Every structure is written in C-alpha cells, then in structure tokens.
Structure 1
C-alpha cells in the first residue's frame, strides 16, 4: 500500500478544513492578526464576549456608537411616507394662506355692510319724495358732512394706531361710511331716478368684473403705482378745467367725458386695491389692515358710482 492511499491524519484534515473555511466562510482572524480589544476573535483566542444586542466589528467599538439622535435631524427625514416631509415644510405656507383667506373674508364682509348702508341711504333719498326735497332745500348738511368725511378719512389712512385699535377703528369707519353715504345720497337726489338706478347697475357689474379679473389675472396692478399717481394728477387737472368751463356754460358732452375718465381711473384703483389684498403681488398689505382694505375698496366703488352718475345723468 502506497503512502498516498493512506487516510489523512488529524492535523492534515484540520489544515484542509481551515483552508476551505478561509476561502468561503470568512473565518475568524488567524493567529498573529491584530485584533480589536474586547472582541471575541474565535476559539482559543483571548477576548471578551460582546454585549448582547450590539454589533461590533473591526475598527468599531461600543463607545463609538451614538446614543442620541443629532439635533439636525428633523421630523419626517426618515419617515416611510415621503409626503410627511413636504407637509412639515409646507405647514407655515398653509398657515399663511389661511390667515390671508380669513383676512380677505373679513374685508369683504365689512365692505358688504358699508355698501348696504350706502345703497339704503341713496334709495331713501331718491325714492322718498319728502326726504329728497328736504335734502335739496338744505345743502348746509352736505357741507357739514364733507369735513366729517375728510377728517375721518385722513385719520384712518394716516394714523396707524386708531386704524388698528378695536373698537375705535370700526367706530371711525362707521362715521366715515355715514358721511360719504349722505354725500352720495345728496348728489343722487339731484338726478333722475332712472339715471341713479342705471348708475347703480353699471357700478355693480363693473365691480364684480374687476374683482374677478383681479383675482384671476397675472397682470400685477400693484407694480403700476407711478402710472396711477400720474392718472390722478391728470384727472385732477381735467376736473379743475371742467369745473371752470361748466361755471360759465354747461356743456353736456364735457361733463360726460369727465365722468367717463373718472370712472376709468377709479376702476383701475379698484383693481389695484383688490390685488393688495391677495398677498402674492409686488405690493401687499398686512392681514391686520382689514379696515384699510375695506376703506380703500369702498371709496373706489362710491367714486365709480358718482362718476357714472355724471355720465348717465348728462345723457337724460
């Protein structure tokens, strides 16, 4: 029997098994390999058993593992739902939008109350004949209401304290609304009933169309402040010239032209003040300025009505 036919010895079988395990099963480090302190390196090697529940390997010790999450980790970073992070980041945007929507609703509720008072007073002055005659025969009340209108308007526009302090802001706004309503009713009493009703109807249509257009369009009227100021100067000069001419001779077409120009200018102002409420244009107003927002829209609408009344009344 040759030596090659003999079965392998115990040491040879150990060496063969160790060689196979080293290639396929990632064995423990052999003798002489530098080991990590505190790590069990295999049978017959000195070391300490690792703690249960901790993974350890070469180059990593239990003291190197972090025990708390870093402060820069935000909620939703490791969420299973990818939309959670978007919801967290957009929470402030949604809060801002809700505040802006509540602000717009408050402004239009106040504006609706103001317009209801104005339309009611105009209807009484136009349709009730004794009241109409009293207003026409007593123009002094009109001239008393004018400084009240002007003073309250300047206080609400120029003074931030009274404009934001409740309930003084609402009281001043009510006094202003009554004064301007009386002035609009007095002017309406000098015109025919059909002309007043026609002016009211056209004003309502114009306001609805301009409001919808201002909310939907991409044109930013708030960036045209210089143009609107120039139009105001032109309207003022035209009004002075028209007043001088009409004092000497009444020219119907000149009266109608001035009324049409004034209605166009204040229609642009209505679009400008409407977009100031949106909060996504070049210029905007604070959500705390709901009195100023309602005041601006209300003045624009009343001025449109008065200028249109000049057009419809002159055509009679």
Structure 2
C-alpha cells in the first residue's frame, strides 16, 4: 500500500506545492496490519492500532476515517475543527468497544499534521498533534528532529532522568503507551503550531519504524535517498516512505510499519520572522497553549 502525490494548491495570497508519499507494511512477524494512514491536503495522519487488543485494525481505521470525512480536499483546515475531529476520532474508537463482546478493547495511537489557516497575519501554519507513541519528525535538509513527544512509560522514565533515550529504545516496557484513542471518554492530545514558510519536510510514522531504526539511521536513509534523487533524471523507482519502511522490515520488522512523508513549498510573500508567539493565541482554543509538547 503506497502513494506518491504532487499537488499545487492556489490560495488567496500564496501557492503551496505539496508532495507527499506514504507506505505501509505488516512487517515480518505480524499476520495483520493494524496501522492506517491518511495522506491528502490538508490532513496527514498515521494511526497504530494497539497490538494485542481486539479490533486494533478497526480502531486505527475508525480514527483515520473520522479525519478523512471531516476536511474538504485542498482547503486549509480550521484549527478548532482539528481539535473537534480528535475528539470525534476518540468517540469512534470508543463506539467499537461498546459494540464488541464483553471484555474486548479497542485502541489506537495517533500522530497527525494539518495545514491550517489560523485567521491571523501570516495565517498559514502546520498544526501537529499526537496521542501515544507514533511520531512526527521534521527534516531541515541537514538534521532530523523529533517534534512529538511519546506518551509512553519509557518516555516518563526518560523525563525523570532514570534512563537515557538510548536505553529507552531497548527497554522491556517500551511498548506501553500512557495515552491512546479509545482509552478514556476524554482524550488529551499534544497540539502545537509551526508557521508554513519556504520548503519544509515532515515525516510521520508508527512505532514499527522507530523500534527497528534509531534517529541517526533514519536520517542516514533520508540523506541517501535525497542524493539518489538528485542523480536520477527520470524519477526514483522507490519513494522515501517505501525506502524507510523497507529498511525497518529488513532490520527485523517486528511490528507493522507505516511512514508518511510530507514536503511543502510556500511560494509568495515571505512571512514575518518567527518569534516566540507565532499566532495570536487569544483567538485560539486554550488547548493549543496547554498541550504543547514537553521540551
């Protein structure tokens, strides 16, 4: 299951050129792929159904379907609509549990990136959000930066200084998440905003990628892929999303693996320099201020 799409979106004052690729694989061990994804302007989402739970695949599909139904194609999203859809996705997963046999549980992690109009000066932003341990990274052409913060037992140990990030990668409790869609009636997502400007690249993935490949190895593959692309005049036979997924499967593939890569170029008036406050948050939902990821 793979896509490679290029799309230009004409807005009132700028043109935004998008390229997004996605690929998903059940891995080398699992019989079923419980990951789902959505890749379509303005919304990009990866959901990882909780392994070992009943209806994990249906949970991730229900969450992604909620986002797919909520946003018109090629139109910037409203931030409040994104927040409302996170809650709707949680309700959709909870409904699966209510309809299932007694004792069955459904759940899924979620990481997402929405192209939004905040209705202020320099109004186009990327709105990122996550629940659980699926991740969103940014790539600046030289280095890979994890934007999201895992909601997991081992991340809490890292935050407390009890273990290092490298130790967390092999910790026996690394599969335990502390937040998920479908776990509670109310869901708390980390949500934050980044101005859309110039060329930007983002990578969304389920933990099937990061279980097998560390950040340094992911970055190495991105650099290699970009170098190969420069040398090819007729396009690559493989996308970056495919290359990353294939590398994770080759490294062990102990879990389902899904990657969505999003590139954007904003062509038009240059936005003002990025400051500490990139939008007038008084006009935004309080959740945007309260749930920005931990540093």
Is the helix fraction higher in 1 or 2? 1
TM-score normalized by the length of structure 1: 0.26
Question: Which structure ranks higher in relative contact order (CA pairs < 8 Å, sequence separation ≥ 6)?
Answer: 2
Q: Which of the two has higher C-alpha Rg? A: 1
TM-score normalized by the length of structure 2: 0.27
Is the strand fraction higher in 1 or 2? 2
